[in-house]
Amino acid sequence: MREITTNTITQAVKKLCMDANYFLNADVYDALEKAKETEVSPVGQEMLCQITKNADIAAQNQVPICQDTGLTVVFVTIGQEVHITGGSLEEAIQEGVRQGYVEGYLRKSVVSDPFLRVNTKDNTPAVIHYRLVPGDTFQLDVAPKGAGSENMSKVFLLKPSDGIEGAKQAVLDTVEAAGPNPCPPIIVGVGCGGNMEKAALLAKEALLRPVGKHNPLPHICQMEEELLSRINATGIGPQGLGGRTTALAVNVEVYPTHIACLPVAVSISCHVTRHTHCTL
């Protein structure tokens, strides 16, 4: 049995929260640089240059890439042979988020009730997802997500007869309806299968996948490539000002489902698509 202290977890989450907001992921940064070479719109090119310049300033000065530092989503992968000592795992994670946002001078955007709207003043509680696996691993993925992109995300409960074409159309309709609102170029996470909440979780998890890495299933890989091409043909462009670079990637995850169901969730993420990872 491997032991990990709650203090170790708190400190890790604290750092991940700050790093996610200060440093643009290398895969996203590289994709933006590559897009500058293919973007035909002068305004679009300028927007891409401004985005990477902003990321450079944020990294150099360790300040947030975006003023909306997001609602923190934490994915925990924990081996069944791990023993957490020193207190509650849940509270250790929440404390890490609390310290990261307060000490990192990150905007606190969480309200304690969806209707009363009183700010919690430390960006907690985070949304936490746990996955229990064999062995003694302990992994953390921290993915703060801003409201501009989250508000553009959707869940569809399609008929099985709608098939893969219906799923593609749902994704395209979502992106086109979003327009400039999620601060493109976006990354699109898509979850297909399971049930309503599983599809939404798959879509959010899909945003953790590096840009350029495709689903290993041939028909899903083809779906990703086709959707990326069609999304970039919409002309929405960087920051919604026109051009070919509306999306950097479309990542699709699938899961078995009921014979009468075809759930499809679309999680749109902005050009930042913050996520950080560590293994303790």
32-79 pLDDT, tens digit each: 999 999 999 999 999 999 999 999 999 999 999 999 999 999 999 999
Q: What DSSP line would sit under the chain, residue for residue?
A: -EEEEHHHHHHHHHHHHHHHHHS--HHHHHHHHHHHHH---HHHHHHHHHHHHHHHHHHHHT--SSS---EEEEEEEEETTEEEESS-HHHHHHHHHHHHHHHTT-----BSSTTT--B-SS-PPPEEEEEEESSS-EEEEEEEE-HHHHTT-EEEEE-GGGHHHHHHHHHHHHHHHHTTTT-SSEEEEEEEEE-HHHHHHHHHHHTTSPTTPPPSSHHHHHHHHHHHHHHHTS---GGGSSSS-SEEEEEEEEEEE-TT-EEEEEEEE-SS---EEEE-
How does residue 258 score in pLDDT terms, banded at 50, 70 and 90?
very high
Q: What is the pLDDT of residue 1?
A: 87
pLDDT, averaged across the chain:
97
Percent of the chain with pLDDT over 90: 100
pLDDT (mean) for 189-209:
98
How does residue 187 score in pLDDT terms, banded at 50, 70 and 90?
very high
pLDDT digits (tens, 9 = 90+) for 82-131: 999 999 999 999 999 999 999 999 999 999 999 999 999 999 999 999 99
**Model's pTM, two decimal places?**
0.95
- Domain residue spans in the chain? 2-20+65-145, 148-278
pLDDT (mean) for 237-250:
96
Q: What is the pLDDT of residue 142?
A: 98
Q: What is the pLDDT of residue 146?
A: 95
